[in-house]
């Protein structure tokens, strides 16, 4: 056991202060895996309902591996970062075919699976299997960087490896480090008085908690403008009217493979809004894109939507499409607003749909 680290104090704190989260009850390898993938760049409170729905529909590797991609993406819709769920399904198919539906207990075999990196592999091995493997997410990095007064990741991984090798329960130890970083050792104004590591923490002793770890430069927000069209077949919107949905392969990778309403990028310059010129211009643009006659008849409003570091301002129009989109442009479907959930529409699509007037 590495000298100087207060294992007992940390364990006692964790048992008394940790949150009751659904993936911590009976932490099977599959549950740990799904939760860790969902938690990447997503807040815990946002993940909980998605995790519970996902596990109810896909309770194990086999059911996930045999599910269709659209069904899996539909349950993920709203969490964003959709490459995560596609990799999750791809990895489940490999685990079923090569490992009999059981996640490997070997680090190298886990790292060979799509979407699993060093952190996810360490979490599965330590939390589910009790194997002394280190983990390093943002919370753990902050705790260890301050405790040891160390910045480089290679040194933090080394310290994490030493600590987990000397603990009594790798599962509890790694979860306690993550929880401490989430609840106490915050990026700004950490609650050092409530920290079980405070007496041995070097950053606290030297008054340097705000300086560790070194913060990267914040990514610049990229602003983009789009136009979105809610296109129906009928001359006016009626109860049960179906709207055109498209599924494209990769023009916008953040919506890749999702069913979405037709969208077009707005070139730089003044926005046309709902003017007659604007309606005609965008009618022509969507007509060219879809290969069928389009007539936009009203401007419904604007929505804002954030995706990673992109902030989208989307002008929403309604109108009609005279026929089916030309073959090869995109996979197309017609769906009523109530059927959108079945297609796994994005949260952006739901925001746009909310602008439709009551029927």
* Active site residues per annotation: 36
Among 213, 140, 212, 129, which Cα is nearest to 175's?
A: 140
d(C-alpha 93, C-alpha 59), whole Å: 14
> What is the residue whose two structure tokens read 């490992």?
99
d(C-alpha 177, C-alpha 142), whole Å: 10
**Cβ atoms 141, 152 nearer than 8 A:** no
For residue 277 the two structure tokens come to 């010129």
d(C-alpha 356, C-alpha 272), whole Å: 20
Cβ atoms within 10 A of the Cβ of 6, count?
17
Burial of 359 (0-12, 13-18, 19+ CB in 10 A): exposed
For residue 298 the two structure tokens come to 């009203």
Among 350, 19, 349, which Cα is nearest to 178's?
A: 19
Q: How far apart are the first and last CA of the chain?
A: 68
> What is the residue whose two structure tokens read 């819709």?
77
């Amino acid at each position: 056991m590495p000298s100087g680290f207060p294992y007992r104090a940390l364990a006692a704190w964790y048992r008394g202060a940790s949150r009751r989260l659904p993936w911590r009850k009976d932490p099977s390898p599959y549950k740990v895996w799904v939760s860790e993938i969902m938690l990447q760049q997503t807040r815990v409170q946002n993940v909980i309902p998605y995790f519970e729905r996902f596990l109810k529909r896909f309770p194990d590797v086999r059911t996930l591996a045999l599910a269709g991609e659209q069904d899996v993406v539909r349950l993920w819709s709203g969490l964003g970062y959709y490459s995560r769920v596609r990799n999750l399904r791809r990895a489940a198919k490999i685990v079923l075919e090569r490992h009999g539906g059981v996640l490997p207990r070997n680090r190298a075999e886990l790292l060979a699976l799509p979407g699993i990196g060093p952190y996810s592999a360490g979490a599965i091995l330590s939390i589910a299997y009790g194997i002394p493997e280190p983990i390093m997410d943002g919370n753990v990095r902050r705790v260890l960087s301050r405790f040891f007064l160390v910045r480089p990741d290679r040194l933090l991984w080394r310290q994490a490896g030493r600590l987990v090798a000397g603990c009594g329960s790798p599962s509890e130890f790694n979860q306690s480090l993550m929880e401490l970083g989430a609840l106490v050792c915050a990026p700004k104004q950490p609650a050092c008085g409530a920290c079980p590591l405070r007496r041995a923490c070097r950053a606290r002793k030297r008054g340097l908690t705000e300086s560790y770890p070194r913060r990267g430069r914040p990514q610049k927000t990229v602003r983009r403008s789009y136009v979105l069209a809610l296109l129906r077949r009928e001359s006016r919107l009626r109860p049960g009217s179906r709207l055109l949905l498209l599924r494209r392969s990769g023009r916008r990778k953040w919506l890749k493979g999702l069913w979405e309403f037709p969208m077009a990028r707005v070139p730089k310059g003044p926005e046309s809004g709902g003017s007659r010129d604007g309606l005609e211009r965008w009618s022509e643009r969507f007509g060219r894109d879809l290969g069928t006659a389009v007539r936009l008849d009203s401007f419904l409003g604007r929505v804002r939507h954030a995706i990673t570091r992109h902030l989208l301002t989307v002008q929403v129009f309604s109108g009609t499409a005279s026929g089916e989109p030309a073959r090869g442009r995109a996979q197309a479907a017609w769906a009523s607003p109530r059927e959108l959930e079945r297609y796994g529409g994005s949260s952006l699509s739901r925001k746009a749909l909310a602008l439709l007037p009551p029927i």
